[in-house]
A and B are shown apart, each in its own frame.
Chain A
Amino acid sequence: MIPIAYWRNRKLYTRLIGSRCKKCGAEYYPPVKVCKKCGSTEIEEKEMLKTGTIVSFTKLTEPPVDFKDYAPIYLAMIRLDNGILVLGQLADAESEEIKIGARVMATIRKWTEDGQSGIIYYGYKFKII
Chain B
Amino acid sequence: MRLNSAILGYGAYVPKYRISTEEIARIWFGEGSGPNRMKAVASYDEDALTMAYEAASIALKMAKYPEIEAILVGSESKPYAVKPMGSILSDIFGFNKILGVDLEFACKGGTEAVQMISGMITSGVIKHGLAIGSDTAQGRPADDLEYTAASGAGAVVLGQPNGNEIAKITHSVTFVTDTPDFWRRPKEHYPTHLGRFTGEPAYFTHIMSSVKLLFEETGYKPSDFNYAIFHQPNPKFPVEVGKRLGFTDEQLKPGLLNDELGNSYSANTLVALNAVLDVSKPGDKILLSSFGSGAGSDTFVIEVVSKPDDDDYIPLREKLKKYVEIDYATYSKWRNKIIR
User: Bound pair: A and B?
Assistant: yes
Complex alpha-carbon distance, A57 and B151, angstroms: 29
A107 within 8 A of B: yes
- Assess whether B279 is interfacial by the CB under 8 Å rule: no
Are B16 and A10 in contact (CB-based, < 8 A)?
no
Decide: A122 near B16, CB < 8 A? Known: A14-B91, A70-B44: no
Q: A88-129: which have CB < 8 Å to B?
A: 91-92, 94, 107-111, 120, 122, 125
B46 in the interface, Cβ–Cβ < 8 Å? Answer: yes
> Taking the complex as formed, is A46 at the interface, i.e. its CB lies under 8 A from any CB of chain B?
no
Candidates A70, A92, A110; contact of B16 at CB < 8 Å: A92
0/1 interface trace, chain B 27-63, chain A, CB 8 Å (1 if under): 0000000000000000111110110011001000000
- Report yes or no: A110 in contact with B324, Cβ–Cβ below 8 A: no
Contact indicator B94/A110 (Cβ below 8 Å): no
Q: Which residues of A contact B50 (CB under 8 A)?
A: 107-110, 122
The winner among B49, B50, B79, B94 for most chain A CB atoms within 10 A is B50
Question: Please, how many angstroms separate the alpha-carbon atoms of A120 and B17 in the complex?
Answer: 22
Kindly list chain A residues whose C-beta atoms are within 8 Å of the C-beta of B54: 107-108
Does A110 contact B91, Cβ atoms closer than 8 Å? no
- Nearest B residue to A10 via CB reads B91
Name B45's contact: one of A15, A94, A110 (CB within 8 Å).
Answer: A110
Roughly how many angstroms separate A10 CA and B15 CA in the complex, as a whole number? 24
Bound complex: CA A70 to CA B44 (Å):
7
| A109-B92 contact in complex given A94-B324, A120-B80, C-beta closer than 8 Å | no
For residue A69, which residues in chain B have a CB less than 8 angstroms away from its CB? 44
Q: Once the chains are docked, how many angstroms separate the CA of A10 from the CA of B96?
A: 14
Decide if B92 touches A15 in the complex (CB within 8 Å). Answer: yes
Determine if B88 is an interface residue (Cβ-Cβ < 8 Å): yes
Q: A110-B45, A120-B80 are in contact. Are A15 and B94 (CB under 8 A)?
A: yes
Name the residue of chain A whose CB is nearest to the CB of B336: A116
B91 adjacent to A91 (CB under 8 Å): no
Contact A122 B44, beta carbon cutoff 8 Å: no
B43 pairs with A122, CB closer than 8 A = no
B190 to chain A, nearest CB (A): 16
| A residues less than 8 Å from B43 (CB atoms) | 91-92, 109
Q: Which of B46, B79, B80, B94 is the one whose CB lies under 8 Å from A109? A: B46
Q: Tell me which residues across on chain A come within 8 A of B92, comparing CB atoms.
A: 14-15, 108, 122
**Known interface pairs A91-B43, A107-B54, A110-B46; A122-B88 also in contact (CB < 8 Å):** yes
Q: How far apart sit A121 and B88, CA to CA, in the bound complex (Å)?
A: 11
Contacts of B80 in A (CB 8 A): 120
- Identify which of residues 3-33 in chain B touch chain A, using a CB-to-CB cut-off of 8 Å: 15-17
CA A120 to CA B45, docked complex, whole Å: 11
Which residues of A are found within 8 Å of B49, using beta-carbon distances? 108, 122
For residue A108, which residues in chain B have a CB less than 8 angstroms away from its CB? 49-50, 53-54, 92
In the bound assembly, the distance between CA atoms of A27 and B134 in angstroms comes to 35
Q: What residues of chain A lie closer than 8 Å to B16, measured between beta carbons?
A: 92
A110 to B49, CA, bound (A): 9
Q: In angstroms, how far is the closest chain A Cβ from the Cβ of B152?
A: 15
Residues of B in contact with A (beta carbons under 8 Å apart):
15-17, 43-47, 49-50, 53-54, 57, 79-80, 88, 91-92, 94, 324
Chain A contact residues, CB within 8 Å of chain B: 10, 14-15, 69-70, 91-92, 94, 107-111, 120, 122, 125
Known: A122-B49, A122-B50. 9 other contacts (CB 8 A): A10-B91, A15-B94, A70-B44, A91-B43, A107-B54, A111-B45, A120-B47, A122-B88, A122-B92
Write 8 A-B pairs (CB below 8 A) sorted by A numbering: A10-B91, A14-B92, A70-B45, A91-B45, A107-B54, A109-B43, A109-B46, A122-B50
Q: Which 10 A-B pairs have the closest CB atoms?
A: A109-B45, A110-B45, A108-B53, A14-B92, A92-B16, A108-B50, A109-B50, A120-B79, A70-B44, A92-B43
